[in-house]
Amino acid sequence: MTVTIWHNPACSTSRKVLAAIRDRGIEPTIVEYLKDPPSAAEIKAALKEMGIGPRELLRRRGTPYDDLKLGEPNRTDSELIAVMAKHPILIERPVVHTRKGTRLCRPAERLDEIL
């Protein structure tokens, strides 16, 4: 099975999900998205696969969320996606993609839905 994880090694949930993938005998493709950010098109595709909107993927804590006024209701989905592409720290993690689907694995148990 091919598995890709948008991973932040500083995040305990991301590390836990990566360990759970490896515990199943799978070595995933690891995208350290802070070093190699996904494009706006990749973020949009992941959102579509997950069936969620960009606000559900936005991380607030420890990010420029408030400074960029991303909580304002007049922000469009396209604007939010563009901001996440420019500032990948705003992307909640970990995002895992398999042939069975894509999930924001927060909580980590959501991984079971796609493995």
Q: 101-104 and 4-7: which strand pairing?
A: unpaired
Residue among 1, 4, 9, 11 flagged as catalytic: 11
What is the separation of C-alpha 94 from the centre of its chain, rounded to a whole number of angstroms? 5
Can 11 be counted among the known catalytic residues?
Answer: yes
Cβ neighbourhood burial of 110 (10 Å; 0-12, 13-18, 19+): middle
The set of catalytic residues is: 11
